[in-house]
A and B are shown apart, each in its own frame.
Chain A
């Protein structure tokens, strides 16, 4: 049985089958300053005075914050007011706020066997710790906040194996961009993507979070990786939060095994995957960074729920240390959480970025979705460690986004064109 079916069966109280519609209890409901206000409005229409469990509703003002304009300030105020009125202990605002999908695992909200819904498509990130986590809309989030339950169509599972050992400068982002180039943006439509294999087991939890983060870019319902020794070690370092643990079903590590619910399996040889770039305007346009030719760039963004964790910043700093961002390129580094920011300061990484001529900002989703803090003008080209490069994603519809991991992004900042890290660090 696949990991996802195992979790959903435990939760439903009977062995579930792909295609079956089930209504089950959820452990955590997440919303942000864009999807939250709409969810709150729908929550109010349902007519329940209180959320089902204040500890299990997490609101994070991370998208248009620090507020980009008056309307977005009003939206942030709506989640703030709701959190106060409902007495939500887990409301994160500027100062404590981080990019939600980096913040929640870091702060111990995610553990194996949970069922998590979030009004943000990248909620699938949390599957890296062995949870079933999926993005939903604001109405779904409202109903989950009111009742603690939600309906799901049980997905079939597609397993993606990465055998072999990753090459230098290659991380979770390169592996996932490579797989995405093969499967396509609807290659796992509505399915569960289970990442496994030696190269995945060898990745840090941070690298695994990057991989599951992009499950949605395959059209998948969720991404998931079996919990193992590294997962346990990661969880041991987090704050303990039994109040958000699985309400039903075991929390123990689950081991993936063959099963009839698997509809497809792909195997890639990680030793053959180089640092990757996805060219405009689909995340599935992945090609080796060394093969895109001379593509000059205007901006680099290093951050986001995909690649804004400490390991990502360390990798970017390893490329930028003792080097300069090329004149004419704006390089923005956005640590995904305050903890990442503080650690980056303590390790001297922030100093490395500043010395290189990069701008370092407080956590925000800002530029990834063309919100603020690095919006692109007409015809501008950006290398971003984010997850989407659709038309107009980061600004003007004629601007272009190339997706990459932090090493490629940093190397590109140094050379002023898309570059493989090997071209910079020899």
Chain B
């Protein structure tokens, strides 16, 4: 009798566990999302890319009541992750954090990628990353003009930190030099494949003289007196950094590259899913709690809806393609 009831009990428990999803998932199939969503992050933890993704994931997860799992899939400068996501089923359960580095800049550099720029569903642009041109606080250059004059006179000794090939550093500083009439290839461009952190380290150590940072690093290293911001690429001065002139004010209005992060999905995503995401993302940029987080991480949110995002990326691509060809970055 004892043995029988043990078996009976365990069967009951097993059946209960088996049928739990039925009890839990009693929402209709047409109601999206009903289960966990994977948000693919093409770069490693700790990068600005990753931090932004996790922030968005945490917020939307709370709002929609389903887990949104940030999944890091590194490798191949983002191509590995793109390959995985762009070939997945467009059911809205695998999305990815998109950005200049995976779209406009990547395609401007790599000519032979296995997919096309528009072979994805752009959902929204979320953040904007203006670029600060910085020097070591000990540097003799107090203005952007002084730095550019040196670069013009002694190009071979002008050492600047570019991140990996398709990175914001490389593009923005190359554009800056080009618009100031200096051939970037005549300067000592140091490519740090480990990314901007390594370039910053070299800047602090005096091994390179010029570099870029984005807002959070500017805040951290600037207020600690380690770096001096010479100019920022945004169209107007940023209220968090009132003492840093824009590139327009500094005499190089052609230096206007601004990075962006946003959300995209595999191609042919159904309109209902696009709407859910774009609405959710747009609402988050108005949510007080989300914005407080953003301020802490010094992220500037600027929401663009799906069509506008796609148009923006394509326009950027054209711009970067021209620049890449001009300075020999295109493979």
Partners in one complex: no
